[in-house]
Amino acid sequence: MKRTFLALVMMLSVMGSLFAQMDQHITWKFSTKVLEDNKVEVICEATVDDGWHVYSSVLPEGTAIPTSIEIEESDAYTVLDGIKEFPEPKIYYDETFKAELQWFEGEAKFSRIVQLNGTGDITVKGYVESMICNDETCMPPEMIDFELTVKQTSNEVKESTDASSTEEEESYWTIFLLAFGGGLAALLTPCVFPMIPMTVSFFTKQSATKAAGIRNAITYGVSIIAIYVILGVAVSAIFGASALNELSTNVWFNLFFFLLLVVFAASFFGAFEIVMPSSWVNFTTKNEDKGGIIGIFFMAFTLALVSFSCTGPIVGSLLVKAATGGYMGPIIGMLGFSLALALPFALFAAFPGYLNSLPKSGGWLNSVKVVLGFLELAFAFKFLSIADMTMGWHILEREVFIAIWIAVFAAMGFYLMGKIKLPHDSPMNHVPVPRFLLALVVFSFTIYMIPGLWGAPVNLISGFPPPKNYAESPYGVGNETPGIISSGNNNHAMGLPEGMHPGPQGIPAFDDYDKALAYAKKVNKPMLLDFTGLGCTNCRKMEDAVWSNQSVKSILTNDYILVSLYVDDRKKLDEPYVSDVTGKKIRTVGNKWAEFQFVRYQQQGQPYYVLVDEEENTLNDPVAYDPDVEKYKNWLLDGLQKFKD
């Protein structure tokens, strides 16, 4: 009896120690708010400890884990798309991910709307998933369940919350500036550029005074802006914010836009022209004669229709980019594009003397159009790449993508040098200096990409090609095996065993503990347990700064069995379960490894490295983030020596 009591006390002590270390440095409070039109806002409020931050719900793909609210389906309500967050998140450029990350410190509020389908009390169930980090470590993603009861009355109507949109100001500025640049590019096309002197001359001749001419030209410019902004509003209204947000991940959207950009590129090359129906153009031309503001508006409309063969591909490409900015993205994109397009007309109308300084129309305008076609073609393959990776087709792996870009930009360089002629090009007796200089830049960029076929990082195009692990040769062209893997005392080159795959820095790795343990026993090697995360910045820093060292890489490849356990892997388990220790529901593979780390080693942060033998005994003290290469190497050698002893 006494032994049983002591064992119980010891177990409670261990459990208490475990739960004491389960501090996620974040607490959540849940509530609901009844809105108009029979809608309810599910509110999740977070309080974060000093020195820690929780990520926004909007993050670039392939970086950290964004905060999300998952609500169970029910006949009593319909879950609407989109998450609101408040206040404005902080923005930080992460050198590891080469992307801007957004997060909150202190307090943050996330919410999601459900549309009620009936009356009476309704229970809303779900969970909020979040990931928090500090300057040295990240905690595994945490899923906190909630169950909220919405009490309704027949006449209960409350005002909507004023929480800010998830679309933050910085992304809108990016869309606006890209669109403005697209508008400037459209000005240099053969459909638009010649219209500037013609249109301005028309206004100055038809106006009784200079002031009237300026006023009419400004009205013309404002009409151009209105037409394109209306187009942006129409795109947002037809598709809606939720559908627009799917553009970045939905396979069919990406395939559609790949084909669309290829068609646009072919049009710019001169294969055919994309024109509006002649009946539309005739209708707008007739209405120009009405005079006044209406006549000027239809004149602007005529310009938009007539120049569509040049501006259409640019507008379409911008809408693709802008649509990923949610409901306001296309509107802001068209505002930027039309503003750049309209400004010259208003400015040259105010100062007609400067018309003489414009370069003469000629073959150079078609050359601008063709160069834009090459860019359209290159960017098209980014959309095909997203669809390919989403579906796992492996038809556009990293080497193939880079090879296509090399071919496209090499062709652009030869075109600029006059070695390639397309249907609408004018004869060229010599290469103008600006064109020659641009060709040198394009050829330099092309040559820069070539080592990417052999595994070079090619950071200038980071984010466009697929990642290194999505490649025909993850170790680089010509390196088909990961290295020498020892089996007992005999070293020999061999393929990867079942369950092992190319890991960080090309080091062979398991992502399943049990398979790794079985293999470690078979080959009589120690294991390195790498508790890591797909969205863990410091994990990538350790891999890039420490594991890339040839001595460290050789030790990890030849002397250890690497086991990378991703605590934020969102792959669903076949059978979710409730942890006997933490009491939490384990839904994903990441949850499983996070619990394993916590229960076995009483730690939650990543990166976290543990050396164990084939009997699962810890060889030396585990280590966390520390970019000191020699220190990490000595730690590995110390564990290896203890394993041999």
Domains of the chain, residue spans: 24-150, 169-362, 485-644
Query: What is the mean predicted confidence (pLDDT) over 577-596?
Result: 82
pLDDT band, residue 142 (cuts 50/70/90): confident
Here the tokens at position 469 are 């692990």
- In angstroms, the Cα distances linking 185 to 289, 315, 341, 368 are 30, 11, 9, 8
45, β-bridge pairs: 29, 109
Q: Which residue has the higher pLDDT, 311 or 600?
A: 600
Lowest-confidence pick of 13-22, 44-53, 385-394: 13-22
Mean pLDDT of 40-63: 85
pLDDT at 640: 92
pLDDT of res. 352: 61
The residue with greater pLDDT, 480 or 133, is: 133
Among 53-62, 125-134, 405-414, where is mean pLDDT lowest?
A: 53-62
d(CA 204, CA 452): 55
pLDDT for 76: 83
User: What is d(CA 181, CA 359) in angstroms, rounded to the nearest whole number?
Assistant: 20
Give backbone dihedrals phi and psi of 509, rounded to 5 degrees, phi first. -150, 150
What is the CATH topology of the domain spanning 24-150? Immunoglobulin-like (2.60.40)
State residue 347's pLDDT score.
72
- The mean-pLDDT minimum among 292-296, 344-348, 575-579 falls in 292-296
- Choice among 151-155, 170-174, 423-427, 495-499 with the minimum mean pLDDT: 151-155
**Whether the Cβ atoms of residue 332 and residue 176 lie closer than 8 Å to each other:** yes
Stretch 186-210: mean pLDDT, rounded?
Answer: 60
Residue pair 487/523 in contact by the 8 Å Cβ criterion: yes
Average pLDDT of span 248-261: 72
pLDDT of residue 449: 93
In Å, how far are 108, 220, 237, 410, 632 from 582, measured between CA atoms?
26, 67, 46, 58, 32
Handedness of CA 443, 381, 571, 53 (dihedral sign): positive
**Which pLDDT belongs to residue 639?**
92
Tokens standing for 123? Answer: 């229970």
Average pLDDT over residues 520-537: 87
Q: What is the pLDDT of residues 328-346, one digit of tens each?
A: 767 787 888 878 877 877 6
Question: Within 13 Å and on the Cβ side, how many CA atoms surround 19?
Answer: 11
pLDDT of residue 168: 44
pLDDT in tens, 145-166: 888 888 765 444 333 333 333 3
Mean pLDDT of 515-530: 93
What per-residue confidence (pLDDT) applies to 442? 94
pLDDT at 357: 56
Q: What percent of the chain has a predicted confidence (pLDDT) above 70?
A: 67
For 452-488, write each residue's pLDDT tens digit.
Answer: 888 787 878 866 787 666 777 765 555 544 443 333 3
Tokens linked to 36: 């108009």
363 Cβ partners below 8 Å, 6+ apart?
425, 426, 427, 428
* CATH pick for 485-644 out of 3.40.30.10, 3.40.190.10, 3.40.50.2300, 3.30.1490.270: 3.40.30.10
pLDDT at residue 411 is higher than 90 = yes
The whole-angstrom separation of Cα 619 and Cα 616 is 9
Query: DSSP E strands: which ranges in 51-208?
Result: 53-55, 68-71, 77-79, 84-86, 90-94, 99-104, 107-116, 122-130, 132-133, 142-150
Per the structure block, which two tokens stand in for 436? Answer: 């020659």
Q: Which amino acid is at 480?
A: E
| Residue 15: per-residue pLDDT | 42
Q: What is the pLDDT of residue 72?
A: 87
Q: Which of 508, 497, 501 is nearest to 561 (CA)?
A: 508
Mean pLDDT of 246-275: 72
Q: What is the pLDDT of residue 229?
A: 77
Residue 42 pLDDT greater than 70, yes or no: yes
* Residues 279-291 pLDDT 10s: 544 554 554 445 5
Band of pLDDT at residue 365, cut at 50, 70 and 90: low
